[in-house]
Amino acid sequence: MNFIYCKSNGKIVAILDETQDYLVYFRHFPQNFIDDLKSIFVENINDIDIRALQYYKIINNELIKRSQQEIDEIQQYGKLLTDSERTLNKLKPSHEEIQKAQNTIEILTLIQEVIQ
């Protein structure tokens, strides 16, 4: 099987039969998209879950499985996060912290009402 992928990020965009030319298959796509495509022939695909191709990428003409962090991001957000998005996610308060803050606000509001 021919795995068609983006040269820029290794993302697999299609799997085609060996007899099918990806340039013909993608002929109606923008030229810059087609220019970023490359093909690699993978002989034994028995170990690959074809339904979960987003969990694989092609680096240096080799099909590899993404890291667990990348797989988790794809499952949770539907995409790979940028470094800045990862940093922002680390800074987000946990559900527990949000609940404590809400409880504190309620208590302070009650105290303020009692004082007045």
* Same domain as 18, residue 58: yes
Assigned token pair, 20: 């099918």
Token pair 């539907």 is found at: 78
Distance CA 42, CA 48 (A): 10
* Same domain as 63, residue 20: yes
* Same domain as 12, residue 39: yes
Q: How many helices (H) and strands (E) does the chain have?
A: 5, 5
8 A C-beta contact, residue 45 and residue 3? no
Structural domain harbouring 115: 82-116
Binned at pLDDT 50, 70 and 90, residue 4 comes out as: very high
Q: Does residue 45 or residue 11 have the better pLDDT?
A: 11
CB neighbours of 22 closer than 8 A, spacing ≥ 6?
2, 4, 14, 16, 37, 39
* Same domain as 41, residue 21: yes
Q: Which of 72-76, 80-84, 102-106 has the highest mean pLDDT?
A: 102-106
Half-sphere exposure of 72 (CA within 13 A, CB side): 4
Does the pTM of the predicted model rise above 0.85? Answer: no
Token pair 């962090």 is found at: 69
* Same domain as 60, residue 95: no
8 A C-beta contact, residue 37 and residue 6? yes
Count how many domains the chain has.
2
* Same domain as 92, residue 47: no
What pLDDT score was predicted for residue 18?
Answer: 85
* Same domain as 64, residue 33: yes
Distance CA 100, CA 103 (A): 5
* Same domain as 40, residue 71: yes
* Same domain as 64, residue 107: no
